[in-house]
Amino acid sequence: MSKMTGPGIGLMGKTVGLYFSIHSHNVSQEFMLKLIDYHAKLGETVDDFEIILVPLDNKEDFKQGSTIPWMAVPFSNKTCNRLSDYFKISTLPM
């Protein structure tokens, strides 16, 4: 059996929520504040749920542990485009 490694290894067996966000979008900023609060409350009782930020603009190149308590895909990573294409993200709600 081979040993798995990499940044996603801690996600195995967990439910993962992808959070698509645009930094300049006011609704995204307001939602993020609510999501941070919800994530903190949820973390007190649930261990098998994780959020991953998928930025849709280059102003949100966060690092885990900076201003957000969850992982983030670097905007420069092609995964951001692949995920937005896969989930057909063309715009965010107003």
For the full predicted model, state whether its pTM sits above 0.85. Answer: no
H helix intervals, 1-94:
26-43, 79-86
Domain containing 43: what range? Answer: 14-86
Q: Is residue 49 part of a domain?
A: yes
Ranked by mean pLDDT, which of 1-5, 16-20, 42-46, 88-92 comes out on top?
16-20
**Count of the separate structural domains present in the chain:** 1
pLDDT at site 55: 87
Q: Is residue 4 part of a domain?
A: no
- Whole-number Å distance between alpha carbons of 41 and 46: 9
Q: Is residue 36 part of a domain?
A: yes
CATH code, domain with 38: 3.40.30.10
Q: Is residue 25 part of a domain?
A: yes
Which pLDDT tens digit goes with each residue over 10-35?
788 888 999 998 877 777 778 888 98
Q: Quick one: which H or E segment has residue 53?
A: strand 49-55
